[in-house]
Amino acid sequence: MLLSTGKYPDGHICCPFSVVKSPGNIACAKKMPCVSSLLWFHISFLVNKHKPWIESSYHGVITENSDVVLLDPPLVALDKDAPVPYAGEICGFHVHGLSAPFEAVVLNRTSGEGRLRARGPIDCERQREFTFIIQARDCGTGPEGHGEKRSHKAVVHVEVGDVNEFSPVFGQLEYHGSVTEGKVYDSILQVQASDQDCSPQYSQICNYQITSQDTAFAIDRNGNIRNTASLNFDKKSHYKIHVTAFDCGQKRAAQDAVVHIHVQPICKPGWQGWSKLIDYEPGTGSKLLFPKMHLETCVGWVSWIRTTVELETSGAGRGCDRQSHSERALQKLCGASSGSTDLLPAPSGVFNWTATLVADGGRDSDLSYRFDGRQAAKIPDWVVPQNLTDQFTITTWMKHGPSPGQRAEKETLLCNSDKTEMNRHHYSLYVHNCRLVFLLRTDYTQTDSFRPAEFHWKLEQICDKEWHYYVISVDFPVVTLYVDGVTYDPYLVTDDWPIHSSQIDLQLTVGACWQGGEVSKAKFTQYFRGSLSGLTIRSGKIASQKIISCLQTCKEGLDITSPESLRQRIKFHLNPAQSLVVMEGEDLEQMNAALRKVSYINSRQFPTKGARHLRISTAVQCFGEDVCISVPDIEAVVMVMQPSEPRIIITGAEHLTVPASNLALGLSLFRDLHIISTVTNTDHRSGALKEIAHNLDYCDIMVLGEELRAGLESLELHHSALLGKHLEYANSSTGMSIYGVDSISHYTEVIRQVHYQSRQAVDSVRTFRLTCSELNGRYTSDQYMLQVNILHGEEAFEHVNHAMAPPKYMQIIHPTVTESNSYSLVFSIYRAL
């Protein structure tokens, strides 16, 4: 390229440096000496004063497997010699460094623009970055490039961009791990995969995934595998799962890894060698509960062990098996003085007011009555105690729950109120809003001032739907409540005026209160909802806590055989109710031996059948640790089997014939009476009956047909017959009841002394029925019938002759038992042929 020149007027060429350019022409700025045109052209090409210029450093990026490098800033070289041909042009770029696989090419010599490119494929996995030197050179002074100049050296740093060309690969295709059953691990094992890509984005593993379905395992982003639930060796001992990996570009591993998890059985701390169901045969005494049981701790030495055995008996009778006798009889057996009145006896001929009540529980349970808000009973006047003073006692078993509704009505257990005309409550026991209240109104004859009248107790037991034993001891003005033997004072006592004395008869009721006045029709009110058993009232206080404890004592419980052998090594505690045993010791084998001595005993002859639940809880300490293992509680059941039911058999003469004239002196009705009780002998396959000796609690002699005429007929028993026996009797026009817990032999002895007396001629036949019971009516005898034939006038004489010389048309049938006496007991019975 030629430089611009001007001309002088004389035609000489002016120097280019003095040229002034104007639109349309070129002229010399000033006249100055200059060489000719040809000479100047040659001189200009021989001048190259300046070096090319480039940036001091460049940063480039190239994607692997391509040749294009993107530089920042762009590759451009400048030369101050421009626009001089050659000297002001860029002819090339030089890359220094034999290991740099790059070259630079000139795209435009005049502008100096260039391009950096790879000489061949670039592999990021082999080298991720390159650093080298680059220089630019001009074209020198001529076409041959003589006199070229080079720029300063610039540093070029090129990074290789990665392509996600490789998939993750696991270090091994199979992994094996093991777990102990019952444990949940944070990490069972770790799988690892790698990726050959060079960049963090594509070479790092960002995620692992279990591809198997419905497994109990999970995996985190680092490849740690854990179980999400405890595993059971017996259920499954080996698990096989598949795992894959993903790099951060979400490229999946070409082949999954297989992971095998092996479940190892563990040593489980706990009691071994015990039975969940333990059968108990009534009458067998004490039975060991855990004769082969031992504790497996799965650790070394232990420093301390505590074991608790608890017996739950709420399903049996009134909370547990207790004596199934009347409360009145039990008070005698426990040493209380006589004088108690049983208000809820077993139904019988004389004590018949409970016959309409609903029994609570089966016939195998203790006698109790269920009240649902519609049943109540009037106590006959002859039963009601008349000699109550400032000291008397009320006892009862009660099971009661919360009453429906927010404002519950009073629920009366016992009430003594006006029979007619008025509606005054003289004394009563009732429940109101889960509070037990005892009302006692004194008479004006005793005092004419305000006196304590209502005594309130608020206890959880009143509405917990469980059986509890209540004793209300009145020593006016003090009233004390015992619940299950524990003393409670009233939290509230309110005063009231005494009641004016009147001639109105009183009515004692159970299960409700009698409202005989101030209404159009007398009725029951304030019905009780719950269950009652053994409700008694007696004059005087129960003397001691010992008697109260005796009345509620269970006849079943836990026991320890040979406890003296444990005292030196094992500390143990047995609660008074014998429902809880606590053992402590430092030696495991000694604790095992101690627990094998725990037994169940039921001393009732005919226990309530059914389940009794056991719970065993254990705490263990190791040396230097508070708690080293956890021993799970175990539950077992003592199943009390159905006892062999006794059969009470009464035998004796079925007919008596006596002259009417002899009845005034009294006829011994049961001189040849025999009572036995038999049960099936369960020890022998023959099923034979064996006689057993135990107690009866009442026998009733009922008059069938027309009642005894008052003042003319009666059943008589001399009080001397009861001396030395736990028996009492009640007499009425319908018969006689002999009651109390006593032996069969004593009952037999007393009944044989009962006489029938008639002071005036009666019908020709009187029939009596005798029944006996044990366990408060749970078992009753067959009905023994006795017919007394009464002979009047000539019939008596003829009967004696016939007995001495039987006519030919009569057949003699000899009874099993015959006995002669002054009342002409039948020796033979004649039947017409």
pLDDT digits 0-9 by tens, 515-529: 887 777 888 999 999
Distance CA 47, CA 84 (A): 8
Residues contacting residue 729 through CB under 8 Å, at least 6 positions apart: 717, 722, 736, 737, 738, 739, 750
Q: Does residue 692 have a pLDDT over 90?
A: no
Average pLDDT, the chain: 81
pLDDT of residue 26: 44
pLDDT of residue 113: 93
More confident position, 722 or 541? 722
Residue % of the chain over a pLDDT of 70: 82
Distance CA 245, CA 223 (A): 9
Residue 174, phi then psi, degrees to nearest 5: -135, 135
pLDDT digits 0-9 by tens, 696-705: 888 999 999 9
pLDDT of residue 446: 58
pLDDT digits 0-9 by tens, 246-259: 998 888 998 999 99
pLDDT of residue 801: 43
Residue of 447, 430, 434, 433 whose CA lies nearest to 394: 430
Cα angle value 707/710/716 (rounded, 5°): 85
Residue 516, phi then psi, degrees to nearest 5: -95, -10
Distance CA 12, CA 4 (A): 14
The partner residues of 621 in beta bridges, in order of sequence, read: 304
pLDDT of residue 681: 55
In this structure, the strands spanning 655-659 and 784-791 are parallel
pLDDT of residue 700: 93
Distance CA 226, CA 216 (A): 9
pLDDT of residue 95: 92
Q: Give me 255's structure tokens.
A: 């082949």
Q: What's the Cα-to-Cα distance from 640 to each of 180, 308, 605, 644, rounded to whole Å?
A: 41, 22, 12, 12
| pLDDT average, residue stretch 336-347 | 80
Total residue count of the chain as it appears in this document? 833
Which range has the worst mean pLDDT, 31-40, 55-64, 262-271, 339-348? 31-40
Assign 391 to helix, strand or coil. strand
Q: Does residue 746 have a pLDDT over 90?
A: yes
Residue of 76, 90, 78, 88 whose CA lies nearest to 3: 88
Report for 37-41, 51-55, 798-802: range of highest mean pLDDT: 51-55
More confident position, 212 or 682? 212
| pLDDT average, residue stretch 9-13 | 49
pLDDT of residue 822: 31
Residues contacting residue 462 through CB under 8 Å, at least 6 positions apart: 398, 400, 431, 434, 435, 436
Residue 16, phi then psi, degrees to nearest 5: -60, -25
Assign 698 to helix, strand or coil. strand
Q: Does residue 14 have a pLDDT over 60?
A: no
DSSP string, 552-603: H--SEEEEESSGGGTTTT-EEEE-TTS-EEEEEES-HHHHHHHHTTEEEEE-
pLDDT of residue 413: 94
pLDDT digits 0-9 by tens, 182-239: 889 999 999 999 988 888 888 889 999 999 998 899 999 999 999 999 898 889 999 9
Q: Does residue 818 have a pLDDT over 50?
A: no
| pLDDT average, residue stretch 13-37 | 45
pLDDT of residue 361: 65
Q: Does residue 442 have a pLDDT over 80?
A: no
| pLDDT average, residue stretch 42-50 | 65
- Residue 551: pLDDT band (50, 70, 90) is confident
Distance CA 130, CA 152 (A): 20
More confident position, 347 or 136? 136
Q: Does residue 300 have a pLDDT over 80?
A: no
- Residue 30: pLDDT band (50, 70, 90) is very low
Cα angle value 307/312/314 (rounded, 5°): 165
Q: In angstroms, how far is CA 593 from the centroid of its own chain?
A: 29
Q: Does residue 379 have a pLDDT over 70?
A: yes
| pLDDT average, residue stretch 326-345 | 76
Do residues 771 and 783 make contact, with C-beta atoms less than 8 angstroms apart?
yes
Q: Does residue 410 have a pLDDT over 60?
A: yes
Do residues 563 and 255 make contact, with C-beta atoms less than 8 angstroms apart?
no
Q: Give me 508's structure tokens.
A: 């004692």
pLDDT of residue 825: 31
Distance CA 511, CA 369 (A): 10
Q: How many CB atoms lie within 10 A of CB 80?
A: 12
| pLDDT average, residue stretch 137-161 | 88
Its pTM stands at 0.55
pLDDT of residue 456: 94
| pLDDT average, residue stretch 331-348 | 78
From edge to edge, which strands make up the β-sheet containing 667-668?
A: 667-668, 755-758, 713-716
| pLDDT average, residue stretch 256-271 | 89
Residue of 770, 772, 484, 467 whose CA lies nearest to 608: 467
Please identify which residue in the block is written with the tokens 């020149």.
5
Q: How many CB atoms lie within 10 A of CB 820?
A: 9
| pLDDT average, residue stretch 71-78 | 92
The partner residues of 492 in beta bridges, in order of sequence, read: 456
Distance CA 761, CA 460 (A): 63
Residue % of the chain over a pLDDT of 90: 37
DSSP string, 461-493: GGGSSSEEEEEEEEETTEEEEEETTEEE--SEE
pLDDT digits 0-9 by tens, 658-677: 998 888 889 999 999 999 98
Distance CA 554, CA 317 (A): 10
Do residues 652 and 815 make contact, with C-beta atoms less than 8 angstroms apart?
no
| Cis previous bond, 477, omega within 30 | yes
Q: Does residue 552 have a pLDDT over 60?
A: yes
3-state helix, strand, coil in the chain (%, to 5): 10, 45, 50
| pLDDT average, residue stretch 779-805 | 70
